[in-house]
A and B are shown apart, each in its own frame.
Chain A
Amino acid sequence: MQFSQENSLWINQEKISKIKEKYPSVSIEKYDNATFLHIDKSSLIDFLTFLKENLGFKMFIDFTCVDYPFHNPRFQGVYFLYSPEDRQRVGVKTWATDNTLPSITSLWKGAKWAEREAWDMFGVKFEGHENLVRMFLWESYPYHPLRKDFPLEGIQDTYLPSKNLRPEENPAHNYTPYHTYVPTLEDLEETQKARMPNKSSQIVLNWGPLHPGTHGTIWFLFDMEGEYVKECDIILGQLHRGVEKIAESRTYTQFIPYTDRMDYISALCSQVAYVNAVEKLLNVEPPEKAKWIRTMLCELQRINSHLLWLGTYALDLGALTIFLYCFREREKIMDIIEGISGIRLNSSYIRIGGVAKDLPEGALDVIKHFVKDFPKKLQEYETILTTNRVWLKRNINVGTISEEDVYQYGLTGVVARSAGVPYDIRMIQPTDAYDKVDFDVPLGKVGDCYDRYLLRVEEMKQSIKIVAQCAEKLEKMKEDKYIATENPYVLPTLDEVFNSIEAMVKDFNLRIYGEQAPEGEIYLSGENPRGELGFYIISKGEGHPYRLRIRSGAFYNLQIFPELIKGRTVADAVALLGSLDPVVGETDR
């Protein structure tokens, strides 16, 4: 099928007229790739309930705020909802008068963390939120960093003199003794208390932030009765780098490497999702060849990511050998990616309007060999695990997710599909060459850890199928252009810069002033191995985004963890966390 009409994924006219009938005050804001409904704060809950119950927008996708310092009221809340039946998205905007908004946690539990994040970053309060504490920063932090008046370098208000001050007459070493605020132990204790206000059981186990089982730096609080977890909370933010803040001062091209470092396990997928959003915003059409290369690399990266997942998951459950087996195959993909982009992990290979370099000679031969070789190896892992008695005992009926959970929490990716919800961005909004390749989206039945294991293995098989198709197609496109440099928004290649003065001027302009995107807004997402990675970009006609919101799949998937682990053991926590597969770089951003 052909990805025909832009805006096809957004709310249609029929539903809008229904809304207009009931709420005449609603105003519509339409863009090529986003449609927003403006509603007054007083009737917000009522309106969202109407959308959820009458119009089928029952899946929660994202919530965020935008800061307009010269507007009164200052903050605007933006909700994204999705209707699984009609395959439509809708954005709802409302102004936060008096810096408060009504909490929608009664409608969608998944809004809990998103609202906490908005409070953390913007200082918008939510009425009716059960425990409105900070999401990423510590409790006693006095600022809200995503506000426009917060400087990028932070506010240097803490006197921390260097222990080895150099003599006064040596100005080169005369550093300022003032630094941005760093949390002290007391701050962390206070944060911990705020997150879990009433502990009931014998011990509170601090599981993490540095712990082999937590896959990064997540800090879990387990209120434990013997081996069983009675209450659980998660403290995120150890890897919070303020990527959204950084985006507001970088040009669109400059931001590409930051997307790598969010989900560092599947860097290429994040890049493709971001670049696609920017291209739609700038109206840049990449050449056909670049699209196929992107699709191929995305799927290779997906296999890579799932292999890492399988290895670490098996390691968590005690099967040490699978880990090394998986890394053996992963290493081959790493080599392929390194050969093509020059970098193993954070490849920064995708560019606006195409890809950074052409495929090197022989790359397709290597990929073809890998495609032939890989299914046998996959069979090997399956032989060891799939019907293994111990593996079944540890996985079956652990962390069962229902369809309702998926809608409530905004779960995406494999986690959603394990519960039988056919939510795959590659299918519902195919970008690049996904509409031209043939693949299946496997669905689970039960929604437990075992289903998620089976799905990921099956996805690897589907991905290898896609890679084979792409490699075959690319074979015929050897001479084609890989980047649309004729477009005014696209950086010229190095060769062009050295050989033509026009290209040099264009390169200079784009690098210094950035891509002057037309005014507008866009929400576009990509199917990451960890779920839907969405980019909501607001452009005010400048060379950098006015606001860039990253809807992270791992962030929302992780949110269901405290709910599922209640009443289960620590050993199940390992299995469950592994099967949700969060990457902290993406949850914290």
Chain B
Amino acid sequence: MEILGTVIGITIKSLIFIVGMFLAAAYLTLVERKFAGHVQQRPGPLHVGYHGLLQPIADALKVLTKEDLVPDNADKFLFYLASLLAFVPSIMILAVVPFGEPFEIFGFTIYPYISDVNVGLLLALAFGSISLYGVIFAGWASNSKYPMIGGLRKAAVLIGYEVALGFAIAGPIMQAGTFSLKGIVEAQQGLWFIIPNILAFVVIIFAVLAETGRTPFDVQEAEAELVGGYVTEYSAMKFGLFPLAEWYIATFVLSAITVILFFGGWNPLPLLGWLPIPGMVWFFLKLFAVFMFFLWVHWTLPRYRVDQITELAWKVMLPLALANIFIVAIWIMIFG
């Protein structure tokens, strides 16, 4: 009986998370478009609803009702699978990301996370790596030259940055002594991990930009070179899933992990702990700040060439991540 309750509880919670994520992602598109608009001295979406507030709904309706074209020569099974493989793992990371401390409403204790696995961070990394297959499959299954090149580019970039990312998160883990994301946040009640881990933070910023395909690392869909990169042959919702997964859900979730690893998760800002603001609000404020930082970079910089990106990954980011481990080790030796 108890198991059944747990299952139902988790299912409902997952549903809430997934639907919430969908809505959030939809509105993150609006945030990005508004932000980009104002960066570029234009108003952004303006006409659907008040100041374009209903624009995401209109977009979703449009993308859902478009004709779903599949090229004749495509590998149909992989072609369908690819869009799902890009999308589902990004959502699955949500399973291990905690958004706050447990709190009580009407006598019920609500846990604002689906599960607190003790290898949460590893799972998140693993899910992130699976989405790589989506990209490669998309490039391969389209049976066309531009998607192929785009897919291979993305694979080269991702492999380079996965390694650096893996080493970069070692620092916070060493300090917290746990892989559990909740545990990592709880370990940061005093000093945030950004202090000794500043190098790792830099590496993670670059890695997130690369993984989510934002400029200066958006080589896989560099429209001036490759038309649309690996999504060139996709249409309708299958097409919509790629940017949704990459640009919004992945950026959102990876921003959340960045906040958890370096900025103390739902711990309040230093010296502001006396404010009556719940932990979850702190968490989302920080998350939003990090997310906007990524947008800011995206809409400002030109893009690197693919060989320059991989060069940066292996020659700069990897050594930086390793140096970070060294620094943190010394830090732990001195301060315990």
State the A residues within 8 Å of B (CB): 203, 205-206, 211-213, 227, 314-321, 324-325, 328, 384-385, 388, 390-391, 393-394, 569-574
Contacts and interface: CB of A to CB of B under 8 A. Distances in A.
B222 A571 contact: yes
A212 B226 CA distance: 9
Contact of A390 (B153, B227, B301): B301
A398 to B, nearest CB: 9
B302 A317 contact: yes
A564 to B, nearest CB: 16
Given A317-B302, A318-B224, A321-B39, 17 more contacts: A203-B145, A206-B145, A211-B227, A212-B224, A213-B223, A213-B224, A213-B225, A314-B302, A318-B215, A384-B300, A385-B302, A390-B301, A390-B302, A394-B302, A571-B219, A571-B225, A571-B305
A571 B40 contact: no
B308 A227 contact: no
B68 interface: no
Interface of A is mostly: helix
Contacts of A384: 300
B59 interface: no
A570 B219 CA distance: 11
B303 interface: yes
Contacts of A203: 145
B41 interface: yes
A132 B216 CA distance: 43
Contacts of A321: 39-40, 299-300
Nearest to A318: B303
Nearest to B300: A321
A315 B219 CA distance: 13
A318 B216 contact: yes
Contacts of A572: 305
Given A318-B222, A320-B299, A321-B299, A227 B306 contact: yes
Contact of B306 (A324, A328, A571): A571
A569 B307 contact: yes
Nearest to B37: A324
Interface string B57-71: 000000000000000
The 8 closest A-B pairs by CB, nearest first: A318-B303, A213-B224, A319-B302, A316-B224, A324-B40, A571-B305, A317-B302, A318-B302
A388 B302 contact: yes
Given A316-B224, A324-B41, A569 B305 contact: yes
B303 A205 contact: no
Interface in B285-313: 299-308
A328 B42 CA distance: 10
Contacts of B223: 212-213
B220 to A, nearest CB: 12
Given A324-B42, A325-B41, A571-B222, A318 B305 contact: no
B162 interface: no
B211 interface: no
Nearest to A315: B224
Sort chain B's interface into a size bin. Answer: 20 to 34
B149 interface: yes
Contact of A570 (B40, B149, B304, B308): B149
Given A205-B145, A324-B41, A390-B216, A569 B224 contact: no
Given A324-B41, A574-B225, A227 B302 contact: no
Contacts of B304: 390, 393-394
11 contacts: A203-B145, A213-B223, A227-B153, A318-B215, A318-B216, A318-B302, A319-B300, A321-B39, A321-B299, A390-B302, A569-B305
Contact of B149 (A227, A318, A388, A390): A227
B233 interface: no
Contacts of B216: 318, 390
B194 to A, nearest CB: 23
A578 B300 CA distance: 19
Contacts of B227: 211-212
Interface in B198-233: 215-216, 218-219, 222-227
B88 to A, nearest CB: 29
Interface string B29-58: 000000010011110000000000000000
Contacts of B40: 320-321, 324-325
Nearest to B42: A324
A315 B301 CA distance: 10
B218 to A, nearest CB: 7
B38 to A, nearest CB: 11
Interface in B227-279: 227
A205 B215 CA distance: 25
A573 B226 CA distance: 12
B219 to A, nearest CB: 7
Nearest to B304: A390
A584 to B, nearest CB: 16
Contacts of B215: 318-320
A236 B302 CA distance: 29
A393 B217 CA distance: 13
**Which residue, B223, B299, B302, has most C-beta atoms of chain A within 10 A?**
B302
A316 B224 CA distance: 5
Interface string B62-99: 00000000000000000000000000000000000000
A128 B228 CA distance: 42
A394 B306 CA distance: 11
Interface in B151-197: 153
Nearest to A211: B227
Contacts of A314: 302
B301 A318 contact: yes
**Which residue, A213, A321, A328, A569, has most C-beta atoms of chain B within 10 A?**
A321
Nearest to B39: A321
Contacts of B36: 320
A391 B302 contact: yes
B301 A319 contact: yes
Contacts of A227: 149, 153, 306-307
A407 to B, nearest CB: 30
Contacts of B299: 320-321
Nearest to B153: A227
A222 to B, nearest CB: 10
Nearest to A215: B224
Nearest to B216: A390
Contacts of A325: 40-41
A570 B300 contact: no
A325 B304 CA distance: 21
A385 B299 CA distance: 13
A438 to B, nearest CB: 34
A212 B218 CA distance: 16
A388 B225 CA distance: 21
Nearest to B215: A318
Contacts of B300: 319, 321, 384
B308 A393 contact: yes
B36 to A, nearest CB: 8
Contacts of B308: 393
A231 to B, nearest CB: 16
Contacts of A328: 41
Nearest to A210: B227
Nearest to B301: A390
